[in-house]
Every structure is written in C-alpha cells, then in structure tokens.
Amino acid sequence: MEPEKQTISELMNSCAQYFERESFSEARIGRYQTMWKTGIVRFMSERSILYYNAAVGEEYISTHIAGSIVTPLQRDFIRSVYVLSEFQAKGAVNKRRYHPLDRKLTGEIGGLMERFLLHLESLRRCRATVNGHRWYLYRFLVFIEGKHLFTVEVIREEHLLSFVSSVANTKICVVSSLRLFFGYLYDNRVIFHNPSEVLKHHRWGRKEKLPSVYTANEVLKIESSINRVDATGKRDYAMMLLATRLGLRASDIAHLSFENIIWESSTFTLSQFKTGKEIVLPLLADVGEALIDYLKYGRKRSESTRVFLYTRAPFTSMENAAVAGTLGRIVASSGVDTTGRKHGPHAMRHSLASRFLENRETIPVISEALGHRTTATTGSYLRIDLESLIQCALDVPDVTEEFYEQKGGVFYEGQV
C-alpha cells in the first residue's frame, strides 16, 4: 500500500506498533492514541477525509492551533501530528523534532537582504555562513522596523550604532554582517551613502577569562548529589565521573563506545572527537564500578554500540549537547555555589587540571592526560595555579632616599 493511501486508522495502528517495538511505555503510547482520536481523527471525520498525508496534518494544525502563544497541550497535539507524518514518510520517528524558526525577511529592506544572501550563495559561501548572516540581518530588521524605518535610505549611522550597542554577544558577527550588507548595497548603487562606514573602526574589548575550576571537595559534593536509584541517575553518575576523574569532554562521553573500554587491561582507548588525537586513559576503579552499575541495571536494550543512551524511548545514543546539558544541570542543582563560574563538563576538565597542578605534575604529563595536541594548550592552565604564581612573585626592593635625591631631586619633586 502506498504511504499516502493509508487510512488514518491504519497509520495510527502501524505507528503504535512501532512504538511498542521501540519500547515506548504503555502510558506514552496511550497518550498519543488519545491525542490522535481527539485531534486529527475528529478533524478528518468532520471533513470526510479518508486518507492521511502531511498536508492534512498541516491543515489541522493551522486550523486548530492559531496565535503567537502555543500552550504545552497544543504543543503536544502538534507533536502527535508530526509524529504521524514522519512515520508515514520514513517508517520511523526521531526522538525530537526540531523546527527551525522561519526568519522571514519581509518588506523592502527584507527583500534587499534576500538579494544580498543570494549574492553570497553565488560566491559559493557555505550554508552555515549564509544562515548566520540571515540571523544577524533578521535581528537588525526587527530592530529598525521597531523604530518605524522601512526603507534603506532613511537608515543612518546612529541606527547602526544603537543596534550594535544593544547586542550583548556576537558583536563581531553582527558588525561583519552589517558591513557586508551595506557594502553590497553601496557597490550596487542601491544607496549612495554607506552608513556602515561608522563601524569601520569599531572595536570591542575582549576580556581575559580564567578557566572555571572547582575544589576537590566541591567536585565530591557534585558527584554525591546524583541520585543513583534509577536508570537516569546511574547513567548520569557514570558520565559525571568520566568528566571529573578523567577530564573527558562532553563530545567524547557522548561518542564513547564499547570498543573503547578495554576491561582486560583496565584502560580506555579512544580517538578524541575534537582533536582526533588517540589517547589511552586508566579505567579507575570508581569509574569502572559506575559503568558496570549503569550497564547492568540502567542501560536500556538497544543495538547502539555507544555506551550512553537516552532513558526515554526510543533509546538512541545521546548527543554532545545532551551530555553537556545534563552534566551542567547536575552541577547547578548540586548545592555548590557556581556564582561567577561556568558549570558544564569543561569546568570539570579544568578542575582536574587544577588538581594535577596542585600535585605538582609536569606540563607534559598533564598534556598527555588531557589529550592536548601540544603542551602550549596545557600552558594556559597555569593561570589557575595561583599558589605557584604567588611563589614566583619577586619581592619589590625598598627605595632609598638617595634615589629620589639624585641629580638634585628635581625630576622627582612632588612625586614622592
């Protein structure tokens, strides 16, 4: 049977059977079935529509869910419809469905922005670059329309400066997009005055930042805050120990596979996701016990070769951002004061480096343990070893009166 020649009942039954195979809970399957029956099924019945397809689902959403504010219940109904469309098209359902915001560049200025973006594409700029410019120009468009400016001829230097000053982050990206856009308009004689010239010498200070670190006691408090009674807690505890005891990045935790764990020699052997460098790390006793506890009593049945899975069906392997977000939330809720400090897995990596420095480990040893490509990268961690820096400080010698009286003391007069 062709996918789009399925009745809604046939499609619902097939989708529910798929959920059962993927180990969705009965309660969750029942909730989907309830939403289908009270939502899309009723909609199709009222209009005498027999066969379901994605267009029918979109019509239901646009008819029944309108307005700029969507309630959590409405969001669930939207999800239930997208699930049917996705299953009909692919025979499977992704764990999450990401709907990028439709950043429409409207009006006269928006049309010129679209022309500029097409120009970038003709120059073979990659999609990520073009999408980045689209986002920054969209933000600028919203800003100037809020000031009732609808043509490029009325945009002045002060409008650009006001917008740039309102941007908290990514100033360099915003300035770059504005320069390129107005430069394009000027070169193509759409405008005869380039207001972005005011940004030609725009400068923004980059503050030196110290890595965020936590003391050994704080790290222990973070680890012990994890409740390990259920599958999620067992998984999170094992992931946290990989960050705190071995300094693994979130990407390496997410991509950790069974083949990376050499139980016979009690080691990890992996190629780092970020650098590609091969590293061998010891399988510490605490880390090994946490992994065994998770694998035996927490990890769901899955064909995935990766160690860490989501604990909600479908039980797919975790993504980098999910690992980072999970560990960050654990630190934030642990009771440890994170004021002025980052609290993601990278902070745990920095904290491990701090422990190495406190134990007077050499830079090459620390570099090898953290998997840095060069010792120059590891050298940046010296900034957090305050005790050693204090010991390196030289005493300032006393200045005698004779110093100020030399040559009659004329140069130093009034400066003592």
| Axis-axis angle for helices 231-244, 345-358 (nearest 10) | 40
Q: Looking at residue 315, what is its pLDDT?
A: 83
Q: Looking at residue 386, what is its pLDDT?
A: 47
Average pLDDT over residues 382-397: 52
Q: How confident is the model at residue 272 (pLDDT cuts 50, 70, 90)?
A: confident
Q: Looking at residue 1, what is its pLDDT?
A: 47
pLDDT one-digit tens code per residue, 221-233: 999 999 999 999 9
- Worst-scoring range by mean pLDDT, 70-74, 101-105, 146-150, 380-384? 380-384
Which range in 13-22, 263-272, 290-299, 357-366 is most confidently predicted, on average pLDDT? 290-299
Kindly state the tokens that stand for 96: 């999450």
Angle at 122 (CA atoms; ends 120, 123), nearest 5 degrees: 65
Residue 236 has pLDDT above 90, yes or no: yes
Q: Looking at residue 149, what is its pLDDT?
A: 92
Strands 278-282 and 267-271: antiparallel
Q: Exposure string (b/e) for 8-31, b if CB count within 10 Å is 16 or more? A: beebbeebbebbeebebeeeebee
Q: Work out the mean pLDDT of the chain and round it to a whole number.
A: 82
Q: How confident is the model at residue 207 (pLDDT cuts 50, 70, 90)?
A: low
Q: Which residue has the higher pLDDT, 252 or 98?
A: 252
Q: Exposure string (b/e) for 124-146, b if CB count within 10 Å is 16 or more? A: eeeeeebebbbbbbbbbbebbee
- CATH fit for domain 107-199, picks 1.10.150.130, 1.10.3720.10, 1.10.540.10, 1.10.30.50: 1.10.150.130
Phi, psi of 66 (to 5 degrees): -120, 170
- Worst-scoring range by mean pLDDT, 46-55, 181-190, 257-266, 340-349? 340-349
Chain region(s) in the chain for CATH 1.10.150.130 = 107-199
Phi, psi of 20 (to 5 degrees): -65, -40
Chain region(s) in the chain for CATH 1.10.443.10 = 216-388
- Worst-scoring range by mean pLDDT, 134-143, 148-157, 267-276? 267-276
CA-CA distance, 223 to 241, in Å (whole number)?
A: 7
Residue 258 has pLDDT above 90, yes or no: yes
Residue 101 has pLDDT above 80, yes or no: no
Residue 411 has pLDDT above 70, yes or no: no
Average pLDDT over residues 286-315: 90
CA-CA distance, 38 to 290, in Å (whole number)?
A: 45
What architecture is the 216-388 domain classified under in CATH? Orthogonal Bundle (1.10)
Q: Which residue has the higher pLDDT, 72 or 358?
A: 72
**What is the CB-side half-sphere exposure of residue 40 using CA atoms within 13 A?**
30
Q: Is 270 helix (H, G, I), strand (E, B) or coil?
A: strand
Residue 99 has pLDDT above 60, yes or no: no
Q: Looking at residue 416, what is its pLDDT?
A: 46
| Axis-axis angle for helices 171-187, 127-146 (nearest 10) | 90
Average pLDDT over residues 333-354: 85
pTM above threshold 0.75: no
DSSP tag of 393: P
Phi, psi of 317 (to 5 degrees): -70, 145
Sheet-wide strand order for 278-282: 261-262, 267-271, 278-282
List the one residue out of 398, 374, 216, 241 whose CA is nearest residue 307.
Answer: 241
Q: Which residues contact 6 (CB under 8 A, 6 or more apart)?
A: 14, 51, 52, 88
Q: Looking at residue 364, what is its pLDDT?
A: 57
Average pLDDT over residues 96-123: 82
Contact (Cβ atoms closer than 8 angstroms) between residue 98 and residue 66: no
Q: Looking at residue 97, what is its pLDDT?
A: 47
Phi, psi of 249 (to 5 degrees): -75, 160
Residue 72 preceded by cis peptide, ω within 30:
no
Residue 38 has pLDDT above 70, yes or no: yes
CA-CA distance, 415 to 398, in Å (whole number)?
A: 16
Residue 393 has pLDDT above 60, yes or no: no
* Full DSSP string of 298-347: TPPP-S--BS-B-SSSS-PBPPHHHHHHHHHHHHHTSS---TTS--SHHH
Kindly state the tokens that stand for 279: 């590293």
Residue 179 has pLDDT above 90, yes or no: yes
- CATH fit for domain 3-90, picks 3.40.1130, 1.10.150, 1.20.1740, 1.10.287: 1.10.150
Q: How confident is the model at residue 389 (pLDDT cuts 50, 70, 90)?
A: very low
CA-CA distance, 109 to 321, in Å (whole number)?
A: 35
Q: How confident is the model at residue 303 (pLDDT cuts 50, 70, 90)?
A: confident
Q: How confident is the model at residue 278 (pLDDT cuts 50, 70, 90)?
A: confident
Q: Which residues contact 260 (CB under 8 A, 6 or more apart)?
A: 268, 269, 270
Q: How confident is the model at residue 183 (pLDDT cuts 50, 70, 90)?
A: very high
Q: How confident is the model at residue 98 (pLDDT cuts 50, 70, 90)?
A: very low
Residue 30 has pLDDT above 80, yes or no: yes
Residue 65 has pLDDT above 60, yes or no: yes
CA-CA distance, 416 to 405, in Å (whole number)?
A: 11
Cα-based distances in Å from 256 to 118, 238, 248? 41, 12, 10
Average pLDDT over residues 28-54: 90
